Structure 1
């Protein structure tokens, strides 16, 4: 700020401003310092909020401060982009389904691809001795690696080693690799091939194979002998030989080697075909209990890609689920199974800017797009009427949908629901993380994009578990809920649409908060009184809606059916989903 300008009641002091700007650039260079900025910012800005006019709150409307935030935002992008794929990514990139790993001079695994993790049971940091091959062959691999490291022979060598688990041979191709910096490494590509999901079906359709014959092809590609296959399948060697003969005839190949080469070629073509698709097939895939779910894809009238998921029974009674700004698009495995058993079809939009759903252009209304996109998804599913289940402040979109399309929705069940925040005190009561973002959206909206972006980069750097523990640290119920194994898997998997290794949804998150949610939308709520059953399920440990704020909601909107839980917070849906399903089962079809 210009020193000649007189200080007014909504300006930071010179000391506060300088400290906040210092912390701002600290965060831009290292997102792990985000919480320090949060504390400094709150200390400086809270007194200004107390003096500001709530109806016209735009604090710190100073082009110099705004310029610092803009530059810091650019810095954080550069820092992230500078973290280019490392040598391991580059070395392993060409190996899709082929198991591959990289060794250093100490015979430690420096990198391994997903096929190597699955087929060879190796991980980064494993020792070569953990590779499940004959001990004599381990010594041979070690000697070959040492020879390659010192450049005493050709750059590559091929070894045939004996696997321990299935007593079959594995071919390893070892190649010396030079890195940008540091000592040379050795890449080991194995004949152990990761078999793609659904590839048996591709072989069956392409060559008219039976299911048993496709399984035999898989075993041959995995270097199993005919006798190995016979033991695995509980069949005689003669039966397997007859099946191999039939397979050779159907595929017009003349030997097992030629057959394996053909199968690998078809696999490569299948992978290339999938990679070349303009709209790639996306799958929401858990790592333990959750079933894989394909994303459905639409094109909006303005040409954007729009994705959504269907959980539960794909032909069941439709339920619209609004998954919170964190993009929690999956339910715990038991909840999804229960929904399927109860005949519930859970339709979950992946909103603009999340996952592969394209972001709405800046000049367009984000809120209007969310409403229009949701209705397009319901139309694609052939849904005429359904109830809405929302989480957190997505109750805002629930009310907007019901207000704009009153004949399309039969009820709103808001888990951790939020109503219009119309008092400054309601921001002040929030826990600090929620207040930092939501009060920032109210009082310093021009600075919010950096705050949100920095938060997302922090979550990427420290991991989702640490981030959730920080954000919900003052809500023991939310932390305990998150740590339940099924809930943990659902949140980690579902939130991939908001934060993954190659995508962050900070733009969509910011625009959702800035456009509509911080206005007074109480008229939209009152308009539904007597027209739509509205049930709020709220926890007393909610960092967004603490007990006193909840009591104010109950007073101002006394026609809503409130159901209060002492043992829950904002993540109440994940803790008490059986009650949600019970309510859904009582609603008229």
Structure 2
């Protein structure tokens, strides 16, 4: 990188990394494929992962922090991530229909705690011979198995430590085995439900080829998987395929090794999950978005476009007065490119031209190649935009982790940057405790980027798809629910419009910036760049305006920042969190007025 900033993500040469127990590994893999099948299961993965990985962080070297260098875990994360892209995210207004929507080919039911079947798809009614108003006892399976299903439904509804199960039951109609996968689901009104999906499916055309490609299986091995999914015994498979029992057992052993599963049941569950995932497709894009407009309060603004020296499209917005005094605004990795309508109007009244770059991979700004240094591209793009706007010198307003990029810009172009106001700014995290005291969502992502960067892409991709599925309001309430200041800020009508509209550059019906989001976190900002920050001392004003309810940088961490950087000007707001800019923008603009006047 241009300023000499380095990341401390270099890995130790030895392979003696902390690792998960066999039990935690198996449960993590199960949660992983649950999320790949349904991003709404994301928080269950988050909670399990945190309980398993937290003790390992204490044993990892903070200076060279990669832990869990587990090829088995890594390969499952990579594979699940590849299939995650295929998920169709339904926006069906009927909640029960939405629950069943992904199971368009498999027999699927929804049980309530009274053992009533609240809903069943057409496949279930046909293949399981269900009447219109059915109960669990109406299923065409053996009586003993009915009780086993009932007991499992009760367990999933009432035991918060267990949320999924796989059962094998015998059909009364044909006498063959059926695999039922059961999973707890909490309805919007808080009612606990259980989704049950069976394996009675038509084997998708070309699915053997998918298994062969995904797991390096031979054609014969893929056919054995097919028979196992159909619940056939080893003897039955041997007879059907004209092979000896020992040959089939040897093939199953090879399949378990290649798929990194530990039992035939786990293998069947994996195959069924992959089958569901490959049957789903993302909605087709509706065309490029070229205008930023809100719900009525925000002005509709055109994106400006440039072409970079390497031929990429580069977009940006101008808020406020198009001919006014320039101010560079860095919109965070959530792509928050719009301000509340009143704040944009105030910027115009004060005669400010707020220049907002869209970093690579956001909106219609083209993504950089994997071999390209993302930080270097982002800063070069920003300078190109400033030059296109004929800016020779300006202050920066930035949010949270974007203080890192503000420092990069100030170090590389000292003559161009006159001051930095960091709203809820994050300085270099140099203590393990600064990760541990974050709220769980922020810790999950940032500690993941710090300690297990090779697993981060799946975590981020699943989080983005969860936000698309449950909506930005639902996602925000999950992530910021423990910060009353942020919750109150978000529910302000102008703030809500600005955040939801602005973040379309990161996530919309047609766009998902999960890759650049991950690239930013693993490129440099979680290393120790404190020398670069201190190099600005005496060179330009640096002002932090932070909320004490910030779930990422809580008060104890802010106090450490104040002790470590006594020369930085700190303003703390007790009624604000990470969205301090959106809550206290008037204070920010007043401080900016004074800085511009100096």
Which bracket does the TM-score occupy, shorter chain normalised?
0.5 to 0.7
Q: Distance in 2 between matches of 1:27 and 1:385?
A: 47
Matched, 1:68 2:76: yes
Q: What is residue 447 of structure 1 aligned with on the other side?
A: 455
Matched, 1:288 2:325: no
Deviations 1:224-275 (Å, cap 9, x if unpaired)?
Answer: xxxxxxxxxxxxxxxxxxxxxxxxxxxxxxxxxxxxxxxxxxxxxxxxxxxx
CA contact (8 A) 1:352 1:370 kept: yes
Q: What is residue 21 of structure 1 aligned with on the other side?
A: 29
Matched, 1:473 2:481: yes
Q: What is residue 327 of structure 1 aligned with on the other side?
A: 335
Deviations 1:521-540 (Å, cap 9, x if unpaired)?
Answer: 11110100011100000110
Q: Once the 2 structures are TM-superposed, how far is the Cα of residue 53 of structure 1 from its aligned partner? A: 0.9
Q: Once the 2 structures are TM-superposed, how far is the Cα of residue 56 of structure 1 from its aligned partner? A: 1.2
Q: Once the 2 structures are TM-superposed, how far is the Cα of residue 8 of structure 1 from its aligned partner? A: 6.2
Q: TM-score, normalised by structure 2?
A: 0.64
Matched, 1:402 2:410: yes
CA contact (8 A) 1:353 1:508 kept: yes
Q: What is residue 539 of structure 2 aligned with on the other side?
A: 531
Residues 67 and 280 of structure 1: CA distance in aligned 2, closer, same or farther (over 3 Å): closer
Deviations 1:256-302 (Å, cap 9, x if unpaired)?
Answer: xxxxxxxxxxxxxxxxxxxxxxx967110111200001000000000
Compute the RMSD of aligned alpha carbons.
1.6
CA contact (8 A) 1:283 1:292 kept: yes
Give the 3-state SS of the residue equivalent to 2:50 in structure 1: helix
Q: What is residue 251 of structure 1 aligned with on the other side?
A: none
Deviations 1:44-86 (Å, cap 9, x if unpaired)?
Answer: 00000011111111111122111100110011112249999xx
Q: Distance in 2 between matches of 1:548 and 1:314?
A: 41
CA contact (8 A) 1:281 1:295 kept: no
CA contact (8 A) 1:9 1:48 kept: no
CA contact (8 A) 1:281 1:294 kept: no
Matched, 1:503 2:508: no
CA contact (8 A) 1:410 1:533 kept: yes
Match of 2:574 among 562, 566, 575: 566
Residues 280 and 555 of structure 1: CA distance in aligned 2, closer, same or farther (over 3 Å): same
Question: 5+ unaligned residues in a row in structure 2: which ranges?
Answer: 1-14, 93-286
CA contact (8 A) 1:308 1:348 kept: yes
Give the 3-state SS of the residue equivalent to 2:420 in structure 1: strand
Deviations 1:409-443 (Å, cap 9, x if unpaired)?
Answer: 11000000000001111000000000000000000
Match of 2:61 among 49, 53, 69: 53
Matched, 1:486 2:494: yes
Alignment of 1:516-555 (within 5 A): 516-555=524-563
Give the 3-state SS of the residue equivalent to 1:517 in structure 2: coil
Match of 2:312 among 304, 311, 320: 304
Alignment of 1:164-243 (within 5 A): none
Q: What is residue 575 of structure 1 aligned with on the other side?
A: 583
Residues 373 and 9 of structure 1: CA distance in aligned 2, closer, same or farther (over 3 Å): closer
Q: Distance in 1 between matches of 2:450 and 2:288?
A: 38
Deviations 1:186-219 (Å, cap 9, x if unpaired)?
Answer: xxxxxxxxxxxxxxxxxxxxxxxxxxxxxxxxxx
Determine which structure has more spread, i.e. the larger CA radius of gyration: 1
Give the 3-state SS of the residue equivalent to 1:324 in structure 2: coil
Q: Distance in 1 between matches of 2:45 and 2:533?
A: 36
Q: TM-score, normalised by structure 1?
A: 0.65
Residues 45 and 583 of structure 1: CA distance in aligned 2, closer, same or farther (over 3 Å): same
Q: Once the 2 structures are TM-superposed, how far is the Cα of residue 588 of structure 1 from its aligned partner? A: 3.3
Q: What is residue 432 of structure 2 aligned with on the other side?
A: 424
Residues matched between the structures, number: 389
Q: Report 1 or 2 for greater relative contact order, CA contacts < 8 Å, sequence distance ≥ 6.
A: 2
Q: Distance in 2 between matches of 1:82 and 1:576?
A: 36
Q: Distance in 1 between matches of 2:91 and 2:65?
A: 38
CA contact (8 A) 1:26 1:33 kept: yes
CA contact (8 A) 1:300 1:373 kept: yes
Q: Distance in 2 between matches of 1:44 and 1:588?
A: 50
Q: Distance in 1 between matches of 2:345 and 2:465?
A: 34
Segment drifting more, 474-483 vs 8-17: 8-17
Moved segments of 4+, more than 6 Å = 81-84
Deviations 1:82-119 (Å, cap 9, x if unpaired)?
Answer: 999xxxxxxxxxxxxxxxxxxxxxxxxxxxxxxxxxxx
